[in-house]
Structure 1
Amino acid sequence: MSGRLSTAGRAAVAVLLVAGVTPGAATAARTGSTTAAKASAACVVSVGSVTATGAVAGKRITPGAVTADKEDVGVFPAGAVRVSGSLSVDPDVTGYDASITGYTVLGSTMYGTSYLITLDGVVDPTRPTHYRVGGGWGDTTFFETTRYWDYPDPPNLTTQYQLRTDGTLTRWEMYYNNGNNPRLWANKQSATGFGAVKTMAMISQTATYDTFLANTRGGALYTIRLPRTSPLKPVVKKVRGSTWQAFDALVAEKCGQYGTMLVGIDKDTQSAYAYAVGHANGTATVIQGLGKVPASFADPVYFRWQIRPGDAQMLFGE
């Protein structure tokens, strides 16, 4: 099951959720490389990918180890997907093992994607659904959906972010209103000046801002905080000045109470490296290298797997 939790894994996470504990939360990330390395031991990053044949795959990465999951075959046409936001897994679907939803760019068109996994662990061939959001997405270099919901408390916020080749970062808000007159892709806001950014990963979701960690083609590493206020006014801080240019994809997950486990993927060498990142604070941010990930990364598109909104732990890396 690509990037999804196995039956045993879902049960283990369910126990943690009921107990009010999220994976990795027992160890808070503090300053100092030794502490950061210890905190990472309880952390896992679920890296999803779309293969050249259109299957959806996944790897669960912990420091020094990888578990690869069975591919979900038949989700997309071969070679069609250019960019994917995170995919969300709902393991509680009557008559099925799981439901998968998210947004993907095929060619120059954005689609909302959903598919079902049967109890036999394969894609239901009658149910892969790709509904057209709209055209004009051919210059998209990065896309992500952020879902903030500290279940069961309000607010429940869903926000879409796009980065284009001209360096424009755009945000939309999704107002579902429990199905009553929903307003989707609303309140469009944009900010320019991000032409040097190569890729990004979400590291914080809060009620008042989202934060991404971004690398540039020149090798720098920055945090980009995006307050939920209007107009959109990003707050950019340099974290490192060099050596980060190789990564074509970044995938992050919460590590401890305040930190992040980060995986950087280099498509040229088909390799990836893991890092424990302390709570982001500009150039004072602690980053501990965890070494090369022992696996090959040959797929054209990468994204972050996450559990359904309400159950997913909220990132708080900045």
Structure 2
Amino acid sequence: MKLQRLALVLAGVGLLASTATTTASATSTASAARGSAAAATENCGSSVVWPTKANVVDTVDIGAHKPPRLVYPPYVYSKFFATRFMDRWYLAWNAAGTQYYAFGLFLLGSNLYRQTTVLSGRSPAQSTAVRVGTGWASFTSIATSNYPLKGSRPAYLYGLNSNGNLYRYAPNGTGYKSAGSFAGFKGFKTMTMISEEMTYDTLLMTTKAGALYTIHIPTTTKAKPVVRLIRKSGWAAYESLVVNKCGVNGATIITAVDHDTDTGYQYGFSKFNGTATATMSYGKIPATFNGTNHAALTGFQFLLLAE
């Protein structure tokens, strides 16, 4: 991955000033702060990363626009692993700013792995993985909250299980320990994180029947999730949901991917408020999403705030 493309990704999620380059300014999130679904058009973007059946990772940069526009077309990112589900890739860099890398979690077989991919402007990216958990065969989807303020709250890992439970885990050394479970998710299909605050996390989830819900989960140990319907139907075809935010209080951009047709569609959402949530369909993305699953490529300091 060329470093200039990495800079564009970081600019798109608010880690670099929007005036840094002409290209980066095209993904500025400033005018999206009004919070409407339409406000994101042409003012922010998203990067989607996916592992293919050939065990390489591809990625594409998309501008929020009606119809969606490719900022950069799909390109090979690195050799990778035969994952069956992958969570967000978090971009980071060393203190000298000379080495960039991405990290995240994925499921492979019955195991949970943490991957690190070192990026270079002169040679292909290199990915390595370490097993951090076993017993994950019955989990169909994972999502992480990323709250990097040390000592404030755990950066939870959530796992959707085929038994109908949603499990929560907290970091424990190099692995994870149980932090509770929630029943009532038997009919749900896939999920992604849309908000990570000091006192709660919020997941966006679809059901097998095609409904779309938010799952608001307080960070206190015994608190129960608040489940709110967003749409009754229309989401059954999508196996992957990829989220990007346009500023702190701006629109949420969702890339929804249909694995049966290798197609992706872009949507803009206002602040999530049950069935009153405003939604705009930007349309089909002009790219082939030939992955086994799809995730966001985003900066590790970029929080998903204000659901």
Normalization by structure 2: what TM-score?
A: 0.86
Question: Which residue does the alignment assign to 1:72?
Answer: 77
Give 3-state SS (helix, strand or coil) of 1:38's partner. helix
Question: Which residue does the alignment assign to 1:224?
Answer: 215
8 Å CA contact retained: 1:189, 1:232 = no
8 Å CA contact retained: 1:85, 1:103 = yes
8 Å CA contact retained: 1:93, 1:99 = no
8 Å CA contact retained: 2:10, 2:298 = no
Return the offset for 1:95: 8.7
8 Å CA contact retained: 1:161, 1:169 = yes
Question: Which residue does the alignment assign to 1:241?
Answer: 232
Counterparts of 1:76-95 in structure 2, within 5 Å, are 76=81, 80-92=82-94
Return the offset for 1:94: 5.5
Matched, 1:120 2:112: no
Return the offset for 1:253: 0.9
Question: Which residue does the alignment assign to 2:148?
Answer: 149
Q: Alpha-carbon deviations, 1:8-52, whole Å to 9, x = none?
A: 526855542899x9941443244xxxx532333312122110111
Give 3-state SS (helix, strand or coil) of 1:28's partner. helix
Q: Alpha-carbon deviations, 1:187-223, whole Å to 9, x = none?
A: 4210111111111121111001111111111111111
Question: Which residue does the alignment assign to 2:290?
Answer: 298
Q: Alpha-carbon deviations, 1:148-202, whole Å to 9, x = none?
A: 136xx86364111111112211111226xxxxxx484134210111111111121
Question: Which residue does the alignment assign to 1:275?
Answer: 267
Question: Which residue does the alignment assign to 2:254?
Answer: 262
Whole-angstrom distance in 2 between the partners of 1:235 and 1:174: 24
Question: Which residue does the alignment assign to 2:33?
Answer: 28
Q: Alpha-carbon deviations, 1:295-318, whole Å to 9, x = none?
A: 11121121111112xx31x21352
Whole-angstrom distance in 2 between the partners of 1:316 and 1:11: 17
Return the offset for 1:117: 2.2
Whole-angstrom distance in 2 between the partners of 1:172 and 1:18: 39
Residue 186 (structure 1) aligned to one of 168, 177, 183 = 177
Whole-angstrom distance in 2 between the partners of 1:166 and 1:7: 39
Question: Which residue does the alignment assign to 1:110?
Answer: 112
Whole-angstrom distance in 2 between the partners of 1:24 and 1:236: 29
Whole-angstrom distance in 2 between the partners of 1:216 and 1:5: 39
Normalization by structure 1: what TM-score?
A: 0.83
Matched, 1:315 2:307: no
Classify 1:263/1:96 alpha carbon distance in 2 versus 1 (closer, same or farther; 3 Å): same
Residue 168 (structure 1) aligned to one of 165, 169, 172 = 165
Give 3-state SS (helix, strand or coil) of 2:116's partner. strand
Which structure 1 residue ranges, 5 or more long, are not aligned?
Answer: 176-181
Classify 1:108/1:154 alpha carbon distance in 2 versus 1 (closer, same or farther; 3 Å): closer
8 Å CA contact retained: 1:97, 1:121 = no
Classify 1:108/1:15 alpha carbon distance in 2 versus 1 (closer, same or farther; 3 Å): closer
Number of residue pairs matched by the alignment: 295
8 Å CA contact retained: 1:96, 1:118 = no
Classify 1:192/1:38 alpha carbon distance in 2 versus 1 (closer, same or farther; 3 Å): same
Question: Which residue does the alignment assign to 1:37?
Answer: 38
Classify 1:118/1:27 alpha carbon distance in 2 versus 1 (closer, same or farther; 3 Å): closer
8 Å CA contact retained: 1:75, 1:115 = no
Q: Sequence identity, in percent?
A: 32
Return the offset for 1:272: 1.2
8 Å CA contact retained: 1:275, 1:290 = yes
Whole-angstrom distance in 2 between the partners of 1:171 and 1:143: 10
Return the offset for 1:259: 2.5
